[in-house]
Amino acid sequence: GDSVTQMEGPVTLSEEAFLTINCTYTATGYPSLFWYVQYPGEGLQLLLKATKADDKGSNKGFEATYRKETTSFHLEKGSVQVSDSAVYFCALLSYGQNFVFGPGTRLSVLP
Amino acid sequence: DVKVTQSSRYLVKRTGEKVFLECVQDMDHENMFWYRQDPGLGLRLIYFSYDVKMKEKGDIPEGYSVSREKKERFSLILESASTNQTSMYLCASSLLSTYEQYFGPGTRLTVT
Protein backbone atom coordinates (compact mmCIF):
# COMPACT_ATOMS: atom_id res chain seq x y z
CA GLY A 1 0.00 0.00 0.00
CA ASP A 2 0.87 3.66 -0.08
CA SER A 3 3.41 4.92 2.45
CA VAL A 4 5.32 8.05 3.47
CA THR A 5 8.77 8.17 4.99
CA GLN A 6 10.15 11.21 6.78
CA MET A 7 13.51 11.95 8.31
CA GLU A 8 13.68 11.14 11.98
CA GLY A 9 13.69 14.05 14.36
CA PRO A 10 13.98 15.98 16.43
CA VAL A 11 15.64 18.63 14.32
CA THR A 12 17.19 21.49 16.29
CA LEU A 13 18.28 24.65 14.50
CA SER A 14 19.32 28.16 15.40
CA GLU A 15 17.17 31.06 14.28
CA GLU A 16 17.81 32.10 10.64
CA ALA A 17 19.27 28.69 9.74
CA PHE A 18 18.25 26.85 6.56
CA LEU A 19 15.74 24.05 7.01
CA THR A 20 15.28 20.85 5.02
CA ILE A 21 12.97 18.06 6.11
CA ASN A 22 13.12 15.07 3.79
CA CYS A 23 10.02 13.22 2.66
CA THR A 24 9.78 10.30 0.24
CA TYR A 25 6.74 8.31 -0.71
CA THR A 26 5.56 5.08 -2.25
CA ALA A 27 2.29 5.11 -4.12
CA THR A 28 0.55 3.53 -7.06
CA GLY A 29 -0.53 6.15 -9.55
CA TYR A 30 -0.02 9.88 -9.10
CA PRO A 31 -0.92 11.10 -5.64
CA SER A 32 -1.30 14.64 -4.36
CA LEU A 33 1.31 15.57 -1.76
CA PHE A 34 0.94 17.71 1.34
CA TRP A 35 2.81 19.16 4.27
CA TYR A 36 0.86 19.69 7.48
CA VAL A 37 2.16 21.48 10.57
CA GLN A 38 1.12 20.95 14.19
CA TYR A 39 1.98 23.74 16.60
CA PRO A 40 2.14 22.90 20.31
CA GLY A 41 -1.31 22.19 21.75
CA GLU A 42 -3.08 22.49 18.41
CA GLY A 43 -4.42 20.30 15.64
CA LEU A 44 -2.80 19.92 12.24
CA GLN A 45 -2.94 22.75 9.72
CA LEU A 46 -2.32 22.48 6.01
CA LEU A 47 0.99 24.20 5.22
CA LEU A 48 1.28 23.58 1.48
CA LYS A 49 0.39 21.11 -1.22
CA ALA A 50 1.22 19.99 -4.76
CA THR A 51 -1.06 18.00 -6.98
CA LYS A 52 1.15 16.97 -9.90
CA ALA A 53 4.77 16.37 -10.82
CA ASP A 54 7.06 19.44 -10.80
CA ASP A 55 4.47 21.54 -8.95
CA LYS A 56 5.91 23.69 -6.20
CA GLY A 57 3.83 24.37 -3.13
CA SER A 58 4.70 27.39 -1.01
CA ASN A 59 3.38 29.17 2.07
CA LYS A 60 4.83 31.27 4.92
CA GLY A 61 8.32 31.03 3.42
CA PHE A 62 8.19 27.22 3.20
CA GLU A 63 8.51 25.45 -0.15
CA ALA A 64 8.32 21.89 -1.45
CA THR A 65 8.57 20.56 -5.00
CA TYR A 66 6.83 17.40 -6.20
CA ARG A 67 9.63 15.25 -7.67
CA LYS A 68 8.16 12.24 -9.41
CA GLU A 69 11.52 10.86 -10.55
CA THR A 70 12.80 10.63 -6.99
CA THR A 71 9.35 10.18 -5.35
CA SER A 72 10.17 13.03 -2.98
CA PHE A 73 8.55 16.14 -1.54
CA HIS A 74 11.20 17.74 0.67
CA LEU A 75 10.21 20.75 2.80
CA GLU A 76 12.58 23.75 2.80
CA LYS A 77 12.75 27.18 4.37
CA GLY A 78 15.57 29.63 3.90
CA SER A 79 15.54 31.21 7.36
CA VAL A 80 13.65 29.63 10.23
CA GLN A 81 12.18 31.52 13.17
CA VAL A 82 11.47 30.45 16.73
CA SER A 83 7.77 30.52 15.83
CA ASP A 84 8.36 27.73 13.29
CA SER A 85 8.94 25.26 16.13
CA ALA A 86 6.36 22.55 15.56
CA VAL A 87 5.84 19.02 14.27
CA TYR A 88 5.75 18.70 10.47
CA PHE A 89 3.89 15.89 8.71
CA CYS A 90 4.31 14.85 5.10
CA ALA A 91 1.21 13.21 3.62
CA LEU A 92 -0.12 11.85 0.36
CA LEU A 93 -3.57 11.36 -1.07
CA SER A 94 -4.19 8.93 -3.88
CA TYR A 95 -7.36 9.05 -5.93
CA GLY A 96 -10.16 7.19 -4.23
CA GLN A 97 -8.07 6.56 -1.14
CA ASN A 98 -7.61 8.19 2.24
CA PHE A 99 -4.74 10.32 3.44
CA VAL A 100 -1.51 8.56 4.37
CA PHE A 101 0.63 10.50 6.85
CA GLY A 102 4.28 10.18 7.68
CA PRO A 103 5.43 9.81 11.30
CA GLY A 104 6.13 13.53 11.73
CA THR A 105 9.34 15.48 12.31
CA ARG A 106 9.67 17.68 15.37
CA LEU A 107 11.50 20.97 14.72
CA SER A 108 12.91 23.10 17.51
CA VAL A 109 14.30 26.53 16.65
CA LEU A 110 16.50 28.17 19.25
CA PRO A 111 16.88 31.95 19.55
CA ASP B 1 -13.01 31.10 10.11
CA VAL B 2 -13.23 27.36 9.84
CA LYS B 3 -13.69 25.48 13.06
CA VAL B 4 -13.46 21.91 14.24
CA THR B 5 -13.97 21.47 17.96
CA GLN B 6 -13.51 18.44 20.17
CA SER B 7 -15.34 17.97 23.43
CA SER B 8 -12.31 17.53 25.69
CA ARG B 9 -8.62 18.37 25.49
CA TYR B 10 -7.66 15.87 28.18
CA LEU B 11 -9.49 12.79 29.41
CA VAL B 12 -8.57 10.12 31.94
CA LYS B 13 -10.61 6.90 32.02
CA ARG B 14 -10.35 3.50 33.66
CA THR B 15 -9.93 0.20 31.85
CA GLY B 16 -13.31 -1.19 30.80
CA GLU B 17 -15.13 2.14 30.80
CA LYS B 18 -17.18 3.26 27.80
CA VAL B 19 -15.69 6.45 26.36
CA PHE B 20 -17.29 9.00 24.05
CA LEU B 21 -15.24 11.53 22.09
CA GLU B 22 -17.25 14.21 20.35
CA CYS B 23 -16.32 16.29 17.33
CA VAL B 24 -18.26 19.17 15.82
CA GLN B 25 -17.51 21.15 12.65
CA ASP B 26 -19.21 24.33 11.53
CA MET B 27 -18.16 24.30 7.87
CA ASP B 28 -20.96 22.13 6.43
CA HIS B 29 -18.36 19.55 5.37
CA GLU B 30 -19.55 16.20 4.07
CA ASN B 31 -16.53 14.19 5.23
CA MET B 32 -15.43 13.62 8.80
CA PHE B 33 -12.55 11.54 10.12
CA TRP B 34 -11.15 10.15 13.35
CA TYR B 35 -7.40 9.55 13.69
CA ARG B 36 -5.15 8.51 16.50
CA GLN B 37 -1.68 10.01 16.76
CA ASP B 38 1.15 8.09 18.40
CA PRO B 39 4.86 8.99 18.56
CA GLY B 40 6.78 7.57 15.64
CA LEU B 41 3.62 6.31 13.92
CA GLY B 42 2.10 9.55 12.69
CA LEU B 43 -1.64 9.64 12.19
CA ARG B 44 -3.60 6.46 11.64
CA LEU B 45 -7.17 6.52 10.40
CA ILE B 46 -9.71 4.84 12.66
CA TYR B 47 -13.04 5.58 10.93
CA PHE B 48 -14.47 8.07 8.50
CA SER B 49 -17.85 9.16 7.26
CA TYR B 50 -18.99 10.63 3.95
CA ASP B 51 -22.51 11.45 5.01
CA VAL B 52 -24.98 11.33 7.84
CA LYS B 53 -25.42 7.77 9.14
CA MET B 54 -22.65 6.55 6.82
CA LYS B 55 -19.40 5.16 8.21
CA GLU B 56 -16.38 3.38 6.80
CA LYS B 57 -13.57 1.56 8.56
CA GLY B 58 -10.14 3.02 8.36
CA ASP B 59 -6.84 1.28 9.00
CA ILE B 60 -7.28 0.52 12.71
CA PRO B 61 -11.01 0.23 13.57
CA GLU B 62 -10.70 -2.58 16.11
CA GLY B 63 -11.98 -1.58 19.53
CA TYR B 64 -13.74 1.53 18.21
CA SER B 65 -17.12 2.47 16.79
CA VAL B 66 -18.54 5.75 15.48
CA SER B 67 -21.81 7.57 15.16
CA ARG B 68 -22.89 10.32 12.79
CA GLU B 69 -26.49 11.30 13.40
CA LYS B 70 -26.07 14.91 12.24
CA LYS B 71 -23.87 16.32 9.49
CA GLU B 72 -21.86 18.51 11.84
CA ARG B 73 -21.19 15.93 14.55
CA PHE B 74 -19.06 12.77 14.49
CA SER B 75 -18.58 10.73 17.64
CA LEU B 76 -15.92 8.14 18.40
CA ILE B 77 -16.83 5.45 20.91
CA LEU B 78 -14.54 3.15 22.82
CA GLU B 79 -16.89 0.40 23.96
CA SER B 80 -14.52 -0.91 26.64
CA ALA B 81 -11.41 1.20 27.00
CA SER B 82 -8.05 -0.53 27.25
CA THR B 83 -4.61 0.79 28.15
CA ASN B 84 -3.40 0.39 24.55
CA GLN B 85 -5.96 2.98 23.53
CA THR B 86 -4.08 5.65 25.45
CA SER B 87 -3.31 8.14 22.67
CA MET B 88 -4.00 11.52 21.11
CA TYR B 89 -7.24 11.47 19.11
CA LEU B 90 -7.71 13.92 16.27
CA CYS B 91 -10.90 14.71 14.43
CA ALA B 92 -10.91 16.24 10.93
CA SER B 93 -13.41 17.29 8.31
CA SER B 94 -13.28 18.08 4.60
CA LEU B 95 -15.42 18.96 1.65
CA LEU B 96 -16.14 16.09 -0.69
CA SER B 97 -14.69 18.06 -3.59
CA THR B 98 -11.38 19.35 -2.23
CA TYR B 99 -10.22 16.72 0.27
CA GLU B 100 -8.27 19.36 2.22
CA GLN B 101 -8.72 18.33 5.82
CA TYR B 102 -9.31 20.69 8.75
CA PHE B 103 -8.31 19.34 12.13
CA GLY B 104 -9.54 19.84 15.65
CA PRO B 105 -7.10 20.47 18.54
CA GLY B 106 -7.11 16.85 19.65
CA THR B 107 -8.11 14.93 22.78
CA ARG B 108 -5.37 13.33 24.81
CA LEU B 109 -6.90 10.20 26.31
CA THR B 110 -5.23 8.26 29.09
CA VAL B 111 -6.64 4.87 30.07
CA THR B 112 -5.43 3.58 33.42
Q: Please state the length of chain B.
A: 112
A9: number of CA atoms within 13 Å, CB side?
A: 27
Residues of chain A above pLDDT 90, percent: 82
Q: Residue A34's closest chain B neighbor by CA?
A: B100
Q: Residue A96's closest chain B neighbor by CA?
A: B99
Give the pLDDT score at A9: 83
Of chain A, the end-to-end C-alpha distance in Å amounts to: 41
A95: number of CA atoms within 13 Å, CB side?
A: 5
Q: Which of A13-17, A38-42, B8-12, B94-98 has the lowest mean pLDDT?
A: B94-98
Give the pLDDT score at B30: 92
For B80, residues 6+ apart whose C-beta sits below 8 A from its C-beta are B16, B17, B18, B63
Residue A8 confidence (pLDDT) above 80: no
Q: Tens digits of per-residue pLDDT, B73-107? A: 999 999 999 999 999 999 999 987 667 889 999 99
Q: Tens digits of per-residue pLDDT, A63-106? A: 999 999 999 999 999 999 999 999 999 999 887 778 899 999 99
Average pLDDT over all residues of chain B: 93
A93 touches chain B (CB under 8 A): yes
Contacts of B101 in chain A (CB under 8 A): 44, 46, 99
Give the pLDDT score at B39: 85
String of DSSP letters for B63-77: TEEEEEEETTEEEEE
Amino acid found at B67: S
Classify residue A79 by burial, with Cβ atoms within 10 Å: 0-12, 13-18, 19+: exposed
Does the beta-carbon distance from A103 to B105 stay under 8 Å?
A: no
* Residue A55, beta-bridge partner list: none
Distance CA A33, CA A35 (A): 7
Q: Which of A56-60, B21-25, B97-101 has the lowest mean pLDDT?
A: B97-101
**Among B41, B90, B106, whose Cβ lies nearest the Cβ of A103?**
B41
Residue B11 confidence (pLDDT) above 80: yes
